Amino acid sequence: MSLARFAVRRVVSGAIFALVVASLTLLLARLVPGDPALEDRLQRSPEEVAALRAELGLDRPFLTQYAHWLGGLLRLDMGRSSLYRRPVTDLVGERAANTALLALAALVVATGIGLPLGRLAGSTQGSLSRVVRALSLAVLSVPPLLSALLLVFIAARTGWLPAGGITSGGLTGAAWFVDLLRHLPVPTLALALPLAATLERLQARAMADTLGRSFVAASRARGLDADAAARVHAWPVSLAPVLGTYGVLVGALFSGSFVVEIVTAWPGLGRLLFDALSARDVWLVAGCGALGAVSLAAGTTLADIAHAALDPRVLEGRIE
Amino acid sequence: MRRALMLVAVLVAVAVAGPLVAPYGPVTRFDDHLHAPPMPLHLDGRGLYTVPLRPLDRLEQTFAEDPSQRAGLPWTTPAATPVLLLGADRLGRDVLSRTLHGARASLGLALVATAGTLLLGALLGSWAGLAGGLVERLVLKTGDVLMVLPVLYVVVALRAALPLVLPLPVIVGVLAAIFVLLGWPRIARGVWAIVRAEARQEHVLAAVALGASRWRVMTRHLLPACHGYLAVQTALLVPMFVLAEATLSYVGLGFPDGVPSWGTALSDAATISAMTRAPWTLAPALAMFLVVLVTNVLLEPARERHTPDAARSG
Amino acid sequence: MVGLFGYFWWGSRSLAPTPDARPTVELPQRGGVLAASLRSEPRSFNRLVSRDYATQLFALLTQARLVRVNMATYELESWLAESWTSSPDGLVHTLTLRDGLSWSDGVPFSSADVAFTFAAVFDPRVKSVLASSLQVDGDPLAVATPDARTVVVTFPHPFGPGIRLLDNLTILPKHKLEAALTGGTMADAWGTTTAPAEIVGMGPFVLSQYEPGQRLTFARNPHYWRKDDRGIGLPYLDGLVLRIVPDQNAELLGLQSADLDLTQQQLRPDDYGTAREMERAGRLRMAEVGVSLDPDVFFFNLRPAMWAKDPRRAWLFTDTFRKALNHAVDREAYANTVFLGAAVPVHGPVSPGNKAWFWPDLPRYAFDREKSAALLAELGLANRDADAFLEDAAGNEARFTLIHYKGNTAIERGAQVLKESFERVGVAMDLAPLEPGTLIERMLAGTFEAIFFNYVATDPDPAMQRDFWLSSGSAHIWNISQKTPATEWEREMDALVNRQAANVDPAERVRLFRDVQRVFSEHLPAMYFAAPRLFVAVGPRVRNETPGVTRPQLLWSADTLALAAGAAPTSR
């Protein structure tokens, strides 16, 4: 199979997958009893409630709502949020950008810490390797929920960094950027540390495997010393299986950022979804679900294609 | 594999014994000790002892040691003098007791959910591997969708459809069912891969040729090939579900507030005021950390041979 | 690791005493931009069509009324109307508008704007949320404007509060909105996407920018009419920013980092300690604003249909059962545990915070477990098995389910304390915390056994809360919107409440309302345990605040708020 055909097949199945998940989220969102028109119901007359329901399109049969929603989706119109009184598309876009910023920062930090440490731990056998390994295991045991709580606690206790939020507001230009940078470390580290530990373990394992493989042994036989062999041959080869797991990591980033955003009040997609769920904001919930499904599908698809490009065995179907 | 089973046995023991060794009941409140700090243990010639606290300012929740008094360990001291080794939470309940009682709900749920996940995952996975064709694709694709479905929706939708007050076993059942529903695909995929490889082996082919029933082939020849994988997955699933419970309860969708579990305790502790002024209420986080750490240490070699998805456990 | 960290941290905590942050007496100065928090987005900028808190606050800041209720004293004050006279029967009120007023865009204000606003409120196409509050017994108030400075308001029936009612009515500019009203689009006018320049008002501030999800920015209204007693033009502040923050944790952090000067509402009891620490560090000041007007309320479902087929009906659906439970609660202990001592025990719906209407001699139910047990025994409840709870003769356990608000510490803690109090007399109560929306839904549908929540009344005057008192009312929480009173005592209460509302003699109204409270207390359709003393936190540079008990505790009087001279601008 050529890489192009593989890519096309991946993209198509990714799209179908996104559609199915998005539809399921809408269905589940509608299954939950209660709707936004009931909020503040005590102070509203039945006529007001009926009007609000009609405005939100909740008075129509489910299939009509679904068809309407799918049609809107094609035009990038996902309805209006009853909680924020704004188009869902705008809201979801803004928040997704925040989540993307957080996820990207976490991915960069995790890669920057995890891969070099893994390379180090995988290519040596000494006490250094054991220290890295022990550290990784400890960090791996602090999942995002706990790391976020711990970091927020430290931030709140010491006042070194803001414990929550994305910016303090009211700032522009350079001051705004500096402020953003001050808010980033807590959620980023909470998300990145377990990830970095995972990457370190993977990289160490892959490195050790590759070093044991014959062609490295062959290059060693040609007279290169062990270090050079590791640097020249083993590192890029060992990178392929690690990159292959980035697809899975996208999922980890998503579920991890959901928790981290709630704990650190980071205004991302996870926090939005949570607020939308609490307020029974049907269209916003569905919008978050749709965007989450699309990004997840896109992330895994891209990672698969990248994996295939790096490791031709994938195309031959020898590796799932 | 032996390590994995040992770990599970230890966790079961903690879930059973935790509440038995707790000094106080899970809902016993000490009205004068809201957010009281931990009372450190002292040692002198007469043995271990603690110094009781008295409230200084109720509104500010400040306390002072009462040096004229002396109390023993909580198990030996009359309940009129609370001895709070890990402090008290916002309702004046002993954090140590809550954490020990919480072990039963949190670990119990995780163990039940793990058992269900393994059973369903192994059955569907081996069925898919054996049957192939449409069944195989259906099982695997359904699994793919379920694996990414936000747990929250499923919980909210199911929870809202149920009666308001449910006995604890039912809540455990509901949450476990949800975890199983969302967890089986990952087991099924592993089992499927093993079964597919195994089914081509000669002794299996021979058994089929001799007319063994599909059920017999599965239980006698295929599942035994998976036991190493399943043992390791058991040990990985338990901490994952412990964290899932914590996350759900943290956002208010898991156990109801009154039930002592590690997740409900964390959600109580999640205000800036509680965290900065009463950090001891985060004790269940420590318990969870220990569970995950022990798992990771015991299973690290085995884990590396299997899936690289430890990071998904959040 | 987490736990150890905390352990050592806590152990090494010490606070250096810092000088008192309370300001010395200084006269308020003009200048500065104040930052306050807002926890929800406005649904509209049009007060006529939206009653959510953000819209109300927006109207308070940018618009004005004919008369104003002072939220610190609850006295009625002249506002756009400088004076008024009332006919002896209390039906006709003649108001004289201030001279020389103009809207924030410079257009002169006149009685035509008042007439326009009344027309808009009562126009059926507008579906105004204010329409029902400007009616007496279903008939609208009539308005006439004989000249540019005179407004004559005629009530259809006698009404005790009189023109206090007009405190609700935000006066809107005819020159900006007349086209929308005649064109039938008034209901959609002034949505949140409206250009700020289009929104003119007579309040102290004008909107300069709305960034959804971020903030509302206000600037001084250059045409504002009020001056302080030194002749300095109000408002003191140059501007005001309402930051939209997600929750109370973020508010507290905002105060701590000086990003906020004020929070949306009072502190949670569990934050008192944190706030005190911050106060000692000079980061904020705490001000006690008084006793809450709205104690948390506990009530049973009193719809006869709910219990018709219930085997527990014979005892659960009785006054005696409620009396027994009321005797079982130690209100002092309740106040100590739930509100950390910062609360006063209450025995009825009117808290001591409501100075005009509180009745100190209301009959009380003393904390008395023996009395409670005796009343329960009277109902045939006795412990017939091995557990701690009572059963009736048929073996039904004395057990019911309470639904209560989730995420509100005082309510959650209160529910726990009540559960334990009732357990001590052998009555079991299951707790089911619910999201507020879901709880209200159940309350309206009548699918609940008992509820514990908080209900915020809009006005301390009982005549303005007839929704709650009358059996036909939409907020008669234990049995909403009855066609005819379900019980004799509700019929009696209806009559008393209506007589009270229609009376224009203040002393007679107080006497009649005492009768209402007495009937209420005899039948206990709802129980009350403690009303919290409320505290607000303000940034150290805020000056000249006049706190009220109800929200917005400080921004209700935004024009007289000030900042310390020379204070650093908001944000680091």
| Least confident span in A156-170, A297-311, B286-300 | A156-170
Q: Which residue of B has its CA nearest to A288?
A: B150
Q: Is residue B212 pLDDT above 80, yes or no?
A: no
Work out the average pLDDT over B212-219.
75
The answer to whether residue A124 is domain-embedded is: yes
Contact B86 C3 (CB under 8 A): yes
Q: Is C307 helix (H, G, I), strand (E, B) or coil?
A: helix
- Residues in B touching A146 (Cβ below 8 Å): 285, 288-289
Kindly list the residues from chain C whose CB atom is less than 8 angstroms away from the CB atom of residue B258: 416, 431
**In a shared domain, residues A62 and A122:** no
Same domain, B218 and B274: yes
Separation of alpha carbons C392 and C376, rounded Å: 10
* Residue, of C10 and C390, whose pLDDT is higher: C390
Residues B118 and B52 in one domain: no
- Report CA C359 to chain centroid distance, whole Å: 20
What chains are in contact with A, requiring at least 3 Cβ pairs below 8 Å?
B, C
Nearest to A252 among B250, B282, B312 (CB): B312
Any domain includes B1: no
Q: Which of A156-165, C427-436, C494-503 has the lowest mean pLDDT?
A: A156-165
Picking from C337, C411, C438 by the largest number of B CB atoms within 10 A of its own CB, the best residue to mutate is C337
Tell me the per-residue pLDDT of C11-47, one tens digit each, with 9 for 90 and over.
Answer: 333 333 334 444 456 789 899 999 999 988 888 899 9
Q: Is B91 on the interface with C (CB under 8 A)?
A: yes
A21 vs B148, B266, B270: nearest CB: B148
Nearest to A277 among B156, B247, B250 (CB): B156
pLDDT class of C479 with cuts at 50, 70, 90:
very high
Tell me the C-alpha distance between B15 and B108, whole Å. 6
Q: Mean per-residue pLDDT for A13-40?
A: 74
Percentage of chain B modeled with pLDDT above 90: 11
**Residue A253 DSSP code:** H
> CA of B27: which chain C residue's CA is closest?
C416
Q: Has residue A252 been placed in a domain?
A: yes
- Per DSSP, the residues of C74-119 read --EEESSEEEEEE-TTS-EEEEEEPTT-B-TTSPBP-HHHHHHHHH
By residue range, what is the domain housing residue B74? 39-83
For residue B218, the model assigns a pLDDT of 73
Q: How many independent structural domains does chain B possess?
A: 2
pLDDT of A260 > 60? The answer is yes
B141 domain residue, yes or no = yes
- pLDDT band at A169; cut points 50, 70, 90: low
Q: What is the pLDDT of residue C331?
A: 95
Q: What is the pLDDT of residue C208?
A: 94
The pairing of beta strand C526-528 with beta strand C297-300: antiparallel
Is A145–B152 a contact, with Cβ atoms under 8 angstroms apart?
A: no
* A114 and A206, same domain (yes or no): yes
* Distance between B234 CA and the closest CA of chain A, angstroms: 17
Q: How far apart are CA A290 and CA A78, in angstroms?
A: 9
The count of structural domains within chain A is 2
**pLDDT confidence of residue C14:** 33
Are A235 and A262 contained in the same domain? yes
Among C213-222, C428-437, C493-502, where is mean pLDDT lowest?
C428-437
Q: Are A59 and A127 members of one domain?
A: no
Is the pLDDT at B252 greater than 80? The verdict is no
Give yes or no for C480 touching B (CB within 8 A). no
CB of B165 within 8 Å of a chain C CB? The answer is yes
Residues in C 216-275 with any Cβ partner in B closer than 8 A:
248-249, 252-253, 268-274
pLDDT tens-digit map of B38-61: 988 888 888 888 888 888 888 888
The minimum CA-CA distance between B277 and chain C, rounded to whole Å, is 7
C55–chain A nearest CA distance, Å = 13
Q: Could you give the CA distance from residue B29 to residue B97 in angstroms, rounded to a whole number?
A: 11
Residue A159 lies in a domain: yes
Do the Cβ atoms of B140 and B124 come closer than 8 Å?
Answer: no
Q: pTM score, two decimals?
A: 0.81
Q: How confident is the model at residue A44 (pLDDT cuts 50, 70, 90)?
A: low
B251 has a chain C CB within 8 A of its CB: no
The answer to whether residues A136 and A77 belong to one domain is: no
Is B280 at the interface with chain C, CB within 8 A? yes
Q: From B253, which residue of chain A is nearest by alpha-carbon distance? A: A278
Is A152 in contact with B149 (Cβ distance < 8 A)? no
Report yes or no: C214 at the A interface, CB cutoff 8 Å: yes
Pairing mode of beta strands B42-44, A86-87: unpaired
Most confident of A142-156, A261-275, B260-274, C548-562: C548-562
* Domain housing A45: 1-83+281-291+308-320
Contact A164 C35 (CB under 8 A): no
According to DSSP, residue C565 is labeled T
Q: Closest CB to C340: pick one of B58, B272, B279.
A: B58
pLDDT of C294 over the 70 cut: yes
Q: Which of residues 94-133 of B touch C (CB under 8 A)?
A: none
- B161 assigned to some structural domain: yes
User: If you search the block for the tokens 């002169």, which residue do you land on?
Assistant: C108
| Residue B103 and residue B50 share a domain | no
Mean pLDDT across A208-228: 64
Any domain includes B222: yes
Task: Give the distance from residue B265's alpha carbon to the nearest chain C alpha carbon, in angstroms.
Answer: 13
Q: Which residues of A touch B301 (CB under 8 A)?
A: none
Any bridge partners for residue C298, and if so which? C452, C527
When the pLDDT of each residue in chain A is averaged and rounded to a whole number, the result is 77
Residues of B in contact with A202 (CB under 8 A): 308
User: Which residue in A has a C-alpha nearest to residue B154's C-alpha?
Assistant: A28
| Residue A33 located in a structural domain | yes
* CATH at A167: 1.10.3720.10
CB contact under 8 A, B145 and A137: no
Region C298-314 average pLDDT: 91
Q: What percent of chain B has pLDDT over 70?
A: 92
Cα C355 from chain centre: 15
**CB neighbour list of residue B128: distance below 8 Å, 6 or more residues apart:** B135, B136, B139, B140, B188, B192, B195
- What would the mean pLDDT of A117-123 be, rounded to a whole number? 80
pLDDT at C319 over 50: yes
Which whole number is the average pLDDT over A51-74?
78
Q: Does B164 touch chain A (CB under 8 A)?
A: no
Contacts of A83 in chain C (CB under 8 A): 41
Does residue A191 fall inside a structural domain?
A: yes
Region C417-436 average pLDDT: 90
**Same domain? A262 vs A174:** yes
Nearest chain C residue to A138 by CA: give it.
Answer: C1
Average pLDDT for C308-323:
92
Span B286-304, average pLDDT: 78
For B308, the closest of A248, A262, A263 (CB atoms) is A248
Q: How far apart are CA A305 and CA A292, in angstroms?
A: 20
Q: Is residue A303 part of a domain?
A: no
Q: What is the CATH number for B219?
A: 1.10.3720.10
CA distance to B102, B293, C335, per residue, from B261 (Å)? 4, 19, 27
At B75 the pLDDT is 84
Mean pLDDT of C59-86: 93
Report the chain B residue with the minimal C-alpha distance to residue A243: B308
**Contact with chain A for residue B288, Cβ under 8 A:** yes
**Could you tell me if B118 and B173 lie in one domain?**
yes
Query: Residues A26-42: what's their mean pLDDT?
Result: 65
List of chain A residues whose C-beta atoms are within 8 Å of the C-beta of residue B144: 17
* Nearest CB neighbour to C274, from listed B37, B256, B273: B273
The per-residue pLDDT for B314 is 33
Q: Do C215 and A169 touch (CB under 8 A)?
A: yes
pLDDT at B309 over 60: no
pLDDT value at position C182?
Answer: 93
Contacts of A201 in chain B (CB under 8 A): 300, 304, 308, 310
Pairing of strands C205-211, C150-154: unpaired
Backbone angles phi, psi at C534, to 5 degrees: -100, 145
- On chain A, the residues whose CB falls within 8 A of the CB of C256 are 159
Number of neighbouring beta carbons within 10 Å of residue A20: 17
Mean pLDDT of C427-452: 87
- Whether ipTM > 0.85 holds is no
> Which range among A69-73, B284-288, C184-188, C555-559 shows the weakest confidence by mean pLDDT?
A69-73
Q: Which tokens belong to A155?
A: 């931030």
Instruction: Identify whether B4 is part of a domain.
Output: no
Lowest mean pLDDT among A129-138, B93-102, C133-142, C468-477: A129-138
A154 and A230 belong to one structural domain: yes
For tokens 């005797």, name the residue. Answer: C327
Residues B53, B103, single domain; the answer is: no
Residue A225 burial class via C-beta count within 10 angstroms: exposed 0-12, middle 13-18, buried 19 and up: exposed
What's the pLDDT at C147?
A: 94
Asked if B159 is an interface residue toward chain C (Cβ–Cβ < 8 A), one would say no
The pLDDT value recorded for residue A313 is 66
Q: Is the pLDDT of residue A17 over 70?
A: yes
Domains defined for chain C, CATH in brackets: 2-42+203-284+539-563 (3.40.190.10), 64-188 (3.90.76.10), 297-531 (3.10.105.10)
DSSP string, C205-222: EEEEEEETTTEEEEEE-T
Picking from A38, A149, A162, the nearest residue to C253 by CB comes out as: A162
Cβ neighbours around C92 below 10 Å, total: 15
Stronger pLDDT, A198 or B302, i.e. the higher one: A198
Does A296 fall in a domain?
Answer: no
pLDDT tens track for C91-138: 999 999 999 999 999 999 999 999 999 999 999 888 888 888 888 888
CB contact under 8 A, A168 and C257: yes
What are the Cα distances from residue A298, in Å, to A14, A90, A316?
Answer: 7, 20, 22
Average pLDDT, chain B: 82
In a domain, A31, yes or no: yes
Check B157 against A32: CB less than 8 A apart: yes
In sequence order, what are the residues at sequence separation of 6 or more whose Cβ sits closer than 8 angstroms to the Cβ of residue A25?
A285, A286, A288, A289, A290, A292, A293, B149, B150, B153
A261 pLDDT band, cuts 50/70/90, is confident
Least trusted range by pLDDT, from A213-222, B5-14, C117-126, C287-296: A213-222
Q: How many CB pairs under 8 A join A and B?
A: 125
State whether C253 and A91 contact (CB < 8 Å): no
In this predicted structure, what is the pLDDT of residue C386?
83
Confidence of residue C324 (pLDDT cuts 50, 70, 90): very high
Give C200's pLDDT tier (boundaries 50, 70, 90). very high
Who among C4, C342, C420 is closest to B59 (CB)?
C342
The three-state secondary structure class of B148 is helix
What is the percent of chain C with per-residue pLDDT over 70, rounded to a whole number? 94
Out of B52, B83, B114, a domain closes at: B83
Residue count of chain C:
572
Whole-angstrom distance, CA of residue C160 vs CA of residue C91: 10
Residue A205 in this model has a pLDDT that exceeds 50: yes
How many C-beta atoms lie closer than 10 Å to residue C440's C-beta?
A: 21
Count the helix, strand and coil residues of chain A and give each as a percent rounded to the nearest 5: 80, 0, 20
Query: What values do phi and psi take at A86, rounded to 5?
Result: -140, 160
Residue C142: what are its φ and ψ, rounded to 5°? -105, 145
Say yes or no to pLDDT of B304 above 60.
no
Among the residue ranges A77-81, C288-292, C444-448, the one predicted with the least confidence is: A77-81
Question: So what's the pLDDT on residue B224?
Answer: 76
Q: How far is B114 from chain A (nearest CA, A)?
A: 19
Q: Which residue has the higher pLDDT, A174 or B280?
A: B280
